[in-house]
């Protein structure tokens, strides 16, 4: 390329770049103009939305909730009407909320432009709408007028209504409304209600530390709960104290003093346990479904139609109250296996139990260990597992009674809730496989849940009773699982349908695997840890118990039981983790027994799928070599055992016992005028000893070496030993062994040789 061509090429490149820059600038300008026009038009349109004065100021509202039969629920579901006046609060209480939620509250017109710009840039970088930049005024509007969805449309509505709010209300009025509307968890709406619940005092009497604790909760009532996430709550409180000190509202000494104080709760028992009712659980679920705060559901006139069965609800409540223990929390839930709807729910606690996760103990074993192993064809109910001391790294588990019993079947291991076999079976299938099955049944794990203690229910955070019970619907539903729900459908104030539940079950286990797990758990209800249920006669049941214990006592106890129609889960525990007089086979099982006995069931037995077969196993091979092989057709009944197997996992090898003549292991000799027979019998054989064809002795059910002595006064004799399979009247299988013996000693002695007179 010559000099002239180079210059021409450069000019063309500059021209191209210039065109590109101009085009880009025009595109950006057009985008901003179009976006600005769109935002402006919609912003103006949304300004016509009226403010709801009642929503801003009325703390006492209720939601209409209906049973499965479309009858209004009798449970109280009114929101607490306690109200606090801004002028009665300590200045540090107000400043705690301002310092963490909206430092410029008294200086802006409802919208903090700096925070909006910062949030916009953050969202642009992350291509999301995570950063909200909401002021207190915006939060008030969002919690009383709008849904929680994160869209630009909702944000524009929020901004338009916020400006209208600022024009019609003073700053103090807005702050007062905000403090009386905001949600603090555990069914606490408003500062006064939260103060009474968490600290048993009026809001005007809150200390600096308590004020900051409550101010910290509102960002995420679950994440910063002083009950279930104490450390998170403590860090959040201390952050607020630091912010208050930076803002000049408290001194350094006040900050340090408050930060060194623990959070001391004084939970107020409710005269009416509203937070653990079916109504409250339905409201919480509806709030998640529609993305609306519960108070806004009430303001909007939404109606919640549930799966609640009044009779079942009352029976469950009575069963729990009859077995109530002082200072011990408890809860029960009943889930319909056909609809996956919650038929009944009731809890007894000052804490919202549906929000609290606890260790599931041995109730996780069928979900994560045994059912997956059955489905992977790794075990059968009869599989022999050695119960013995084991050590995996630094993990040295043991059984509850600190004893080891040797080989047991998978059925025995489950029904007696043994620990070592569960850990071994989990090692057969792998931790990841076990977790994948459990997750398909609705169990969530933390990333730190990655050890063999999971086989015993040792989780980082645990699981709530609803999710644990729901997992067992998989077994009641022949291997299919779907998420459990309280709600059938929801309508708005005009009775227009806004949500309907449509079950969409998916297959998690093969039908045969599910049935075999059920059959094992039926044994647990008959002769295992749930044997208190053994006399239930109105339906077939399958059951699993679980106990979380420490050296000085138990903290949690479960019973999860199911029939062909429904699943019942009951939990007892102490949320402070103090030892309690509870065991899984006791109180929870008594509640389940009381409830199930009160019911009438149309379907009374579990269906056996065609993919499950009955097989005879050689009992000798199982006992002596711990192997499952098919019994010989000639095997006596006493040496066979019958078990259920999946057709996909049935033994094919036939036992070599009872297929040919038995062998006799015996020796015979003379000694001091006696015949000495050394015999090594086998328990499944019957031996007959003959002396000169005369029956002398029968030996059966013996396994150890035997020495048999017979008198030998003859010069010569014949000893015959025959062996046949016990109880088998078939001479074709009889074996004999003969010994001919000669007596070389003199059999007669003179009287002079006698030593006696």
The band of 70, judged by pLDDT with boundaries at 50, 70 and 90, is: very high
For residue 187, what pLDDT is reported? 77
Lowest mean pLDDT among 9-18, 321-330, 335-344, 364-373: 9-18
d(CA 31, CA 26): 8
Residue 9: pLDDT over 70: no
The band of 23, judged by pLDDT with boundaries at 50, 70 and 90, is: low
386 bridge partner residues? 407
Burial of 646 (0-12, 13-18, 19+ CB in 10 A): buried
d(CA 306, CA 323): 27
Name all contacts of 391-396 with Cβ < 8 Å and 24+ positions apart.
392/423, 392/452, 395/451, 395/452, 395/453
Question: What are the pLDDT digits (tens) for 573-594?
Answer: 988 888 999 999 999 999 999 9
234 closest CA partner among 271, 263, 268, 211: 263
Higher pLDDT, residue 606 or 47: 606
Question: What are the pLDDT digits (tens) for 224-249?
Answer: 999 888 999 999 999 999 999 999 99
Helices 230-246 & 91-101 angle (0-180, nearest 10): 100
Residue 76: pLDDT over 70: no
Question: What are the pLDDT digits (tens) for 159-209?
Answer: 888 888 888 899 999 999 999 988 898 878 889 989 998 999 999 999 999
d(CA 67, CA 212): 40
Question: What are the pLDDT digits (tens) for 300-331?
Answer: 889 999 999 999 999 999 999 999 998 899 99
Residue 749: pLDDT over 50: no
Higher pLDDT, residue 59 or 520: 520
For residue 67, what pLDDT is reported? 95
For residue 753, what pLDDT is reported? 44
DSSP 50-77: PP-HHHHH------EEE-TTSPBP-S--
Contact 180, 190 (CB under 8 A): yes
Residue percentage of the chain with pLDDT more than 90 = 63
Question: What are the pLDDT digits (tens) for 687-731?
Answer: 999 999 999 999 988 888 999 999 888 889 999 999 988 777 767
For residue 44, what pLDDT is reported? 56
Residue 65 structure tokens:
């909730």
Return the top range by mean pLDDT from 9-18, 246-255, 286-295: 246-255
Question: What are the pLDDT digits (tens) for 376-401?
Answer: 999 999 999 999 999 998 888 888 88
Question: What are the pLDDT digits (tens) for 82-118?
Answer: 789 999 999 999 999 999 999 999 998 878 766 665 5
Residue 2: pLDDT over 70: no
CB hemisphere CA count around 70 (13 angstroms):
2
For residue 748, what pLDDT is reported? 47
Contact 452, 395 (CB under 8 A): yes
d(CA 156, CA 116): 12
Average pLDDT over residues 618-623: 92
For residue 292, what pLDDT is reported? 86
Residue 16: pLDDT over 80: no
For residue 274, what pLDDT is reported? 77
CB hemisphere CA count around 174 (13 angstroms):
26
Average pLDDT, the chain: 87
For residue 189, what pLDDT is reported? 85
SS3 (DSSP) at 244: helix
Residues sharing a CB contact under 8 Å with residue 729, sequence separation 6 or more, in sequence order: none
For residue 529, what pLDDT is reported? 96
Burial of 660 (0-12, 13-18, 19+ CB in 10 A): exposed
Average pLDDT over residues 631-655: 91
What stretches of 617-706 show up as alpha helix (H) in DSSP?
619-625
Residue 37: pLDDT over 60: no
Residue 413: pLDDT over 60: yes
Average pLDDT over residues 749-755: 43
Question: What are the pLDDT digits (tens) for 328-353?
Answer: 999 999 999 999 999 999 999 988 89
Residue 271: pLDDT over 90: no
């Amino acid at each position: 390329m010559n000099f002239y061509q180079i210059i021409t090429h450069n000019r063309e490149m500059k021209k191209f770049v210039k065109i590109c820059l101009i085009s880009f600038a025009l595109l950006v300008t057009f985008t901003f103009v179009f976006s600005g026009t769109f935002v402006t038009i919609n912003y103006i349109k949304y300004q016509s939305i009226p403010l709801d004065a009642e929503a801003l100021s009325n703390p006492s509202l209720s939601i209409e909730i209906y049973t499965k039969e479309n009858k209004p629920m009798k449970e109280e579901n009114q929101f607490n009407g306690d109200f606090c006046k801004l002028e009665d609060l300590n200045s540090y209480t107000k400043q705690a909320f301002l310092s963490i939620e909206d430092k410029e509250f008294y200086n802006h017109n409802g919208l903090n432009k700096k925070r909006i710009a910062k949030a916009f840039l953050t969202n642009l970088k992350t291509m999301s709408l995570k950063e909200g930049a909401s002021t207190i005024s915006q939060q008030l509007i969002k919690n009383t007028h709008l849904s929680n969805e994160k869209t630009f449309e909702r944000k524009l509505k929020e901004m338009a209504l916020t400006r209208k709010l600022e024009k019609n209300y003073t700053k103090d009025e807005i702050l007062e409304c905000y403090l009386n509307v905001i949600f603090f968890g555990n069914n606490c709406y408003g500062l006064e209600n939260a103060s009474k619940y968490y600290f048993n005092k009026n809001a005007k009497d809150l200390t600096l530390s308590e004020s900051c604790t409550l101010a910290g909760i509102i960002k995420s009532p679950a994440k910063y709960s002083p009950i279930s996430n104490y450390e998170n709550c403590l860090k959040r409180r201390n952050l607020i104290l630091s912010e208050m000190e930076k803002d000049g509202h408290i001194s350094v000494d006040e900050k340090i003093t408050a930060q060194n104080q623990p959070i001391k709760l004084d939970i107020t028992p409710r005269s009416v346990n509203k937070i653990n009712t079916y109504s409250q659980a339905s409201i919480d679920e509806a709030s998640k479904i529609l993305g609306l705060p519960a108070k806004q559901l009430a303001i909007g006139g939404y109606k919640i139609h549930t799966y609640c069965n009044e009779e079942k609800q009352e029976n469950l409540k009575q069963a729990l109250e009859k077995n109530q223990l002082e200072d011990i929390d408890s809860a029960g839930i009943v889930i319909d296996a056909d609809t996956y709807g919650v038929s009944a729910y009731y809890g007894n606690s000052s804490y919202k139990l549906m929000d609290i996760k606890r260790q599931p103990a041995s109730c996780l074993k069928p979900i994560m260990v045994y059912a997956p192993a059955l489905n992977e064809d790794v075990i059968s109910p009869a599989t022999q597992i050695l119960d013995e001391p084991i050590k995996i790294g630094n993990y040295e588990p043991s059984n509850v009674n600190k004893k080891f019993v040797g080989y047991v079947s998978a059925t025995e291991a489950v029904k007696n809730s043994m620990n070592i076999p569960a850990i071994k079976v989990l090692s057969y299938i792998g931790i990841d496989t076990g977790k994948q099955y459990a997750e398909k049944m609705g169990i969530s794990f933390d990333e730190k849940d990655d050890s063999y203690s999971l086989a015993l229910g040792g989780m980082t955070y645990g699981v709530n009773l609803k999710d644990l019970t729901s997992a067992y619907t998989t077994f009641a539903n022949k291997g299919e699982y779907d998420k459990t729900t309280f709600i059938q459908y929801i309508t708005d104030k005009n009775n227009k349908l806004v949500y309907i539940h449509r079950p969409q079950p998916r297959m998690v286990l093969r039908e045969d695997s599910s049935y075999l797990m059920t059959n094992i758990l039926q044994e647990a209800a008959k002769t295992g840890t749930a044997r208190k249920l053994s006399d239930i006669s109105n339906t077939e049941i399958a059951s699993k118990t679980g106990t979380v214990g420490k050296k000085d006592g138990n903290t949690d106890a479960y019973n999860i039981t199911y029939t062909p129609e429904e699943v019942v889960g009951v939990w007892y525990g102490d949320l402070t983790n103090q030892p309690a007089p509870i065991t899984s086979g006791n109180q929870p099982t008594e509640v389940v027994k009381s409830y199930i006995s009160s019911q009438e069931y149309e379907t009374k037995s579990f269906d056996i799928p065609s993919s499950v077969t009955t097989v005879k196993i050689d009992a000798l091979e199982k006992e002596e070599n711990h192997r499952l092989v098919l019994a010989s057709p000639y095997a006596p009944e006493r040496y066979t055992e019958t078990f259920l197997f999946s057709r996909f996992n049935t033994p094919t090898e036939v036992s070599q016992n009872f297929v040919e003549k038995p062998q006799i292991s015996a020796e015979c000799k003379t000694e001091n005028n006696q015949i000495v027979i050394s015999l090594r019998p086998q328990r499944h054989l019957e031996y007959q000893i003959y002396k000169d064809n005369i029956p002398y002795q029968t030996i059966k059910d013996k396994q150890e070496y035997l020495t048999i002595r017979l008198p030998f006064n003859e010069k010569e004799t014949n000893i015959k030993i025959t062996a046949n399979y016990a109880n088998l009247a078939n001479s074709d299988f009889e074996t004999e062994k003969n010994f001919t013996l000669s007596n070389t000693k003199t059999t007669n002695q003179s009287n002079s040789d006698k030593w006696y007179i």
